[in-house]
Structure 1
């Protein structure tokens, strides 16, 4: 039993030594590497030494089995140590490959994340801007997409995603542009109809100008037609087009303000105060008239009907400041921010129709569009009357010196003195003038109240003059025609035009003279 115990002890020592490098060889990643070759040889050497010691301690008759077992054990331990060393080297190589691949994958992941962030912050916004400027999706992909240091698979997927997004946006833009073009075409058709109707109304005014009631009704219809034309112009402006009318010559600012007043319903509530003696270049006349008419319409619409709206124009260092003040309920901070957002909405091709909502309010959107196109500046303030004070600044490049100080007011002529009948009335060219005062009275807005010449029916000369009795004189005086209906609107239009005429066949409802219209 003693030799067997010695042999067991001799084998247990090298096996314990063998277990240590095997555990190290199977260690998890991140620990120290496998044992070196001398460590793997140590168990075999120890086993051989133990075998020799056991043989020395064993009697001679029992040494043969001990030697056999020791040699076999030494060989087995040596083979196991060699296999463990080989596997350790394989594991070490696999660990190095894993670390290298992990590093490569982390690098690819960081590059893909960087490209994804760049697509969201740089590539897509740039591509959208080019699409809105009219470029095609393929051209944008070729000019914008530059992917580097990524795998071919990721680059292909990257381009595919961008292509799908750009094609979808391009289709949406095409649909939007088509809808806006149709929108503008409809507005142009309405403008053409309104223009034709205005011409026909003026022809009717010339034809039926002798009938006061018909003439007044025609003037009111002409004014309402101008309101429809303003709505059509607003629709065209929202679609990205210019207002329908174009002016070639410079128009006095006074006439521009009166033209804006003539395009709203409650123009009689607007008080025009001091106006700078400047002119507006032709390219800025219609946009300015339209923007002012929208602002004046808001001022009169959202203020009590018995209050007044005050309109002034002052020349400043940066142009001309046109101020409008109403006595409404004013604007809260939220309403002011909403109005400023409506003015700030910008799009190169016009306003998106979806932004108007189910109950569209066109006024501020139209003003914002015109302001961006013509470099107007619009701001909202609190009014001294408790309402809103709107300031529109016209840039200096649209302003020039007007040849007539005061605009249309300086051009107003004094009518001739009244003519008193001094005897029997004779037919002279079929015309008769009504007695009018030497200085025509003016209304609250400074416009001359003028009367219209009419064709009177002259009785034939009698063979014998008959002395007129007081009764007949009183009857003739009482039979004088009353003031014609619609003369207030005719005087309004004639004062706007700035061109007093002996016979005014057709006062214009748009606030500008016929001569100015014919030039355009």
Structure 2
């Protein structure tokens, strides 16, 4: 009897142990599936879904395309789906707010640019009318220069709103005139010294972005270096395009400043939000990064041999063309130079003029 009872107890105990072992294995399997699904959700699904949202796909379509698999419990799958829905709806609302803010920003910038263009036209007409009066002509040139500074700020706002600077040239612009145009848009332009500029031209599509990018770098160079020191500019041909070097004699770059610059430019390159700007008034590096990303320029900032900063802008060869030789003109007496930079003012295309209004 006792041996039979012991045998039944042993069998029952073995059955119980087997049951709980199977139960434990099943629970560990479910836990492993849930853990793997959660990791997949965080590392793969969410980034891909947010990327699709940023490309304009609605959250509802993304949710319909997501399946969690039949191996998961329905309650767990529904909980994940609800969490994903909440997150995507929040991101979608944020993207709509960001797009609306950027559109408003660009609209304001375009209105300011329209006023700037009209004022520049009026000033040119007044310079033609009063060009013989040295005092009046000098004053008009000073107003024209300050008007160009306002135009640059409006263009920077448009660029931060993920739009083009505004102008589009119908013809290629000589690189020398591009650099001079950038000089005309900064306050301390007399300190900029052109050492040598290779004789090439920039196609109309790339001229305005390059002018604006160089203006921002020249402004940084003159602002961050002693007022009595020059800022030297050279442009030479390299195998991959044209290298434009801007070198100042300021305080240089500390490791902390370099890291901050890299962070700002990386952030602007991947996209910038109005909240990212905060109360900062220095928008130059963010604008430079956006223009470089959109137009294929390479920008490198390093410490110069003079202890200041040396900025190198590489313009790709696809944006470079030869300088068109114009027919010789009858020589005329040149007007007296009053100190302000004289830069060419090519006519905008009709489409670009319409975009500026």
Return the TM-score normalized by structure 1.
0.63
Residue in 2 that maps onto 1:129: 51
Contact 1:126-1:144 within 8 A present in 2 as well: no
**Structural mapping, 1:232-247, within 5 Å:** 232-247=154-169
How many angstroms does 1:412 deviate by? 9.3
Query: Cα–Cα, structure 1 residues 376 and 518, in superposed 2: closer, same or farther, change >3 Å?
Result: closer
Residue in 1 that maps onto 2:354: none
Q: Tell me, yes or no, if structure 1 residue 357 matches structure 2 residue 278.
A: yes
Residue in 1 that maps onto 2:289: 368
Q: Which structure has the larger Rg over C-alpha atoms?
A: 1
**Structural mapping, 1:52-451, within 5 Å:** 81=5, 90-346=12-268, 350-404=271-325, 414-415=331-332, 450-451=334-335
Give the one of 488, 491, 497 matched to 2:339: 488
Query: Cα–Cα, structure 1 residues 210 and 226, in superposed 2: closer, same or farther, change >3 Å?
Result: same
Structure 1: runs of 5 or more not aligned:
1-13, 19-38, 41-80, 417-449, 453-485, 494-510
Query: Cα–Cα, structure 1 residues 128 and 411, in superposed 2: closer, same or farther, change >3 Å?
Result: farther
Three-state SS of the structure 1 residue aligned to 2:280 is coil
After TM superposition, the structure 1 stretch with the greater mean CA deviation from structure 2, 396-405 or 227-236, is: 396-405
| Partner deviation per Cα, 1:15-57 (whole Å, 9 max, x = no partner) | xxx4xxxxxxxxxxxxxxxxxxxx12xxxxxxxxxxxxxxxxx
| Partner deviation per Cα, 1:258-297 (whole Å, 9 max, x = no partner) | 1111111111111111111111111000000000000000
Distance (Å, rounded) in 2 between the aligned partners of 1:242 and 1:325: 27
Give the one of 329, 344, 357 matched to 1:512: 344
Contact 1:273-1:310 within 8 A present in 2 as well: yes
Contact 2:248-2:310 within 8 A present in 1 as well: yes
How many angstroms does 1:222 deviate by? 0.9
Query: Cα–Cα, structure 1 residues 411 and 235, in superposed 2: closer, same or farther, change >3 Å?
Result: farther
Distance (Å, rounded) in 1 between the aligned partners of 2:348 and 2:274: 35
Distance (Å, rounded) in 1 between the aligned partners of 2:324 and 2:296: 25
Contact 2:170-2:347 within 8 A present in 1 as well: no
Structure 2: runs of 5 or more not aligned:
351-357
Contact 1:123-1:145 within 8 A present in 2 as well: no
How many angstroms does 1:339 deviate by? 1.4
Flag the structure with more relative contact order, 1 or 2, with Cα contacts below 8 A and sequence separation at least 6.
2
Distance (Å, rounded) in 1 between the aligned partners of 2:196 and 2:269: 36
Residue in 1 that maps onto 2:353: none
Return the TM-score normalized by structure 2.
0.91
How many angstroms does 1:206 deviate by? 2.9
